[in-house]
Amino acid sequence: MIDCIFCKIVAGTIPATIVGESARSIAFRDVAPRQAVHILVIPREHHSNIAELSANDPEALVDLMQLGSRIASDQTTGHFRFTFNTGELAGQTVFHAHGHITSTQPAKA
Ligand code: 5GP
Ligand code: ZN
């Protein structure tokens, strides 16, 4: 989708620190991390929020949850949040579905 910042990250036209990928989803570090671990997981295809993704492409939703869970178990001690702000009044600012993986507990090196 033209003018969607996350579609541009999927296309590689703006840079991001990618931490994981699957056929349907990608994961990258949030540009303004609010916790020690702050990773965004998005579907490669544009859907405006997680409810739309769930309704329109449930297989992509499962893929996103599986990639996110894998990344969270790699990057944290297993104590994390996986959250989806949905709608402007709930704090959504980028209208391409995305989950936030946040944790104060990075995986030990
Ligand atoms: P929301 O508020 O919509 O739930 O989350 C959007 C998130 O995207 C925010 O945490 C914000 O820091 C992050 N973000 C916005 N623009 C960019 C960008 O260009 N690159 C990356 N990596 N993260 C971004
Ligand atoms: Zn998009």
CA 68 to chain centre: 7
CA dist 25 and 16 (Å) reads 14
Asked whether residue 67 is domain-assigned, the answer is: no
CATH code for position 83: 3.30.428.10
User: Would the pTM of this model clear 0.85, i.e. be above it?
Assistant: yes
The pLDDT profile of the chain, 109 residues, written as one tens digit per residue, is: 789 999 999 999 999 999 999 999 999 999 999 999 999 999 999 999 999 999 999 999 999 999 999 999 999 999 999 999 999 999 999 999 999 999 999 998 7
- Ligand 1 centroid vs 31 CA: distance in angstroms? 6
Residue nearest to atom 1 of ligand 1 (CA): 92
Domain that holds residue 8: 1-38+72-98
Ligand nearest to the CA of 9: 1
- Count of domains observed in the chain: 1
> Given this model, what pLDDT does residue 1 score?
72
* Residue ranges near ligand 2 (ion) with Cβ within 5 Å: 1, 4, 6-7, 46, 96
Amino acid symbol at 2: I
